[in-house]
Copies of this chain bind each other. A is one copy, B any other.
Amino acid sequence: MAGEKITTRAQDYSQWYLDIVNRAGLAENSSVRGCMVVKPHGYALWERMQAALDRMFKETGHVNAYFPLLIPKSYFAKEEQMAEGFAKECAVVTHYRLKSVPGKGIEVDPEAKLEEELIIRPTSETIIWNTYKNWIQSWRDLPLLINQWANVLRWEMRTRLFLRTAEFLWQEGHTAHATKAEAEEETAKMLEVYRVFAEEWMAMPVLFGPKSEGQKFPGAEYTLCIEAMMQDKRALQAGTSHFLGQNFAKAFEVMFQNSTGQLEHPWATSWGVSTRLIGALIMTHSDDQGLIAPPRIAPVQVVICALGKEAAEREASLSAAKQLATALKALPREEFFNFDTIAVKVDEDFHNTPGYRFNEWELKGVPVRVEIGPKDVAQNACVLARRDQPGKEGKQFGIPLDQAPLRIVELLKSIQANLFAKAKAFRDANTHTVETYDDFRQKIESPGGFFLAHWDGTRETEDKIAAETKATIRCIPKNLPNEPGVCMVTGRPSAQRVVFAKSY
């Protein structure tokens, strides 16, 4: 309940996560199995993520469109890997009408049975490539660089808010290209967009590189990913970019005339990130006081708490708070802010104690809190508290109000940088190099973390390791120093170390 402390990470990490999701007002389970309600503060985080990502997609030449929610069942049979990969988790629409039955309430009308069942999209490659068939005739129609913001549904048996839910929100990019090289370039480019977003916006360091065969997307030739380390040292896949080759073009009979007049299948990519990123954000930065939102993603970047006991005091502090808010919003626009201006909120919730109010804003993860009480009003100043570090600035003499806006921007930038540095130091400290399988099996249990190990490149070895340790290959990293060696399990040659970890 409000006012109570949340569970600490040391007490129960899973409960700590759920407490933050609940108490920061981010999401809750709905009465529909596996489907969550994204609450206003959680949705505001998603809006900030969408804004930054959507700009980056457009800067790289993409446009948005929208494709149907429902997909004919037969489409899934056209691409074999996809059918295998998603068949077990598809919600199926079989009827299109209800009817009132006297005495029994509302029932499904058996007369309104569909001839062909429709599937709620678990991902949209099939319906989109079926559409692209009509859009792509000539090399002049290429590349087709399209993104969709949408909800998707995958029936999950074990769900966890944001991290694994039946319905989730995401974006899915689907591009078509005249050449293999161009499609592979796109696959890499969009992974880089995700890396920049994760690191520079979410302040979340990521490893990046291809997935192993065993972990790739059904229907892809290969999958590139970004992988982050959570505070329990488990890995979380935060975004993927797939090179689909000509698989979907062939399955849906899409051909184009190239510039020399010959018919060819185009080359495809797809790439996506989802509301799962909100889970990643929580588990990367937050502490035992609640959420810590990186400034560039925070729905409220600065809260100004007006304080005072008497009516006259309250009026004076509220007036100063509003003036400061106006000054903050009038700052010249910076890309750093994400939206047009700094997101600032004035808190005039005088009927609660200052301590209660500060705790609530800490729970919600607001990066900078400004306090203006009677003493501050008297010296035309304020006190500043940054969410990522204990203590306050200006407690003695106050930060003069006319200097506060620039100081607050400095603080926001410093918090953004500090959160990234802290998360990176944590990941690096928990990334280990191992040489033997025995050592690996011991250390994956304790202390846990990311393990750089040699692997012979076979599915067989990968499966054996997963079965015996529950650790999987997270990626074949491209941003870590590396060298060839021999597989820790079989002793066969290995081109480079790969990253093993237990994962979400």
Contacts and interface: CB of A to CB of B under 8 A. Distances in A.
A173 to B, nearest CB: 13
Nearest to A67: B37
Contact of A106 (B38, B76, B93, B146): B76
Interface in A68-106: 68-74, 76-77, 83-84, 87-100, 105-106
Nearest to A340: B340
A67 B130 contact: no
Contact of A43 (B47, B64, B77, B98): B64
Given A30-B131, A92-B98, A65 B37 contact: yes
A31 B95 contact: no
Given A77-B106, A94-B108, A167-B69, A63 B35 contact: no
B118 A100 contact: no
Given A31-B130, A92-B93, A118-B32, A44 B68 contact: no
Contacts of A66: 37-38, 43, 46, 169
A185 interface: no
A36 B66 CA distance: 8
Determine which residue in A89, A98, A134 has the highest number of CB atoms from chain B within 10 A of its CB, and name it. A98
Contacts of A63: 40, 43-44
A94 to B, nearest CB: 5
Nearest to A134: B28
B97 A90 contact: yes
B91 A70 contact: yes
A78 to B, nearest CB: 10
Given A38-B66, A64-B40, A98 B118 contact: no
Interface in A135-173: 146, 150-151, 153, 155, 167, 169
Contact of A100 (B31, B70, B87, B94): B87
B30 A127 contact: yes
A39 B153 CA distance: 22
B94 A94 contact: yes
A37 B119 CA distance: 16
Please list the 9 inter-chain residue pairs (A to B) with the smallest Cβ-Cβ separation, ordered nearest first: A35-B68, A38-B66, A40-B63, A87-B98, A92-B95, A96-B155, A77-B105, A94-B94, A77-B106
Given A43-B64, A120-B120, 5 more contacts: A35-B69, A40-B146, A89-B96, A93-B93, A98-B119
19 contacts: A31-B130, A32-B118, A36-B68, A37-B66, A40-B64, A43-B66, A69-B167, A70-B153, A83-B106, A87-B99, A88-B98, A89-B96, A90-B98, A91-B95, A91-B96, A91-B118, A92-B95, A92-B108, A93-B93
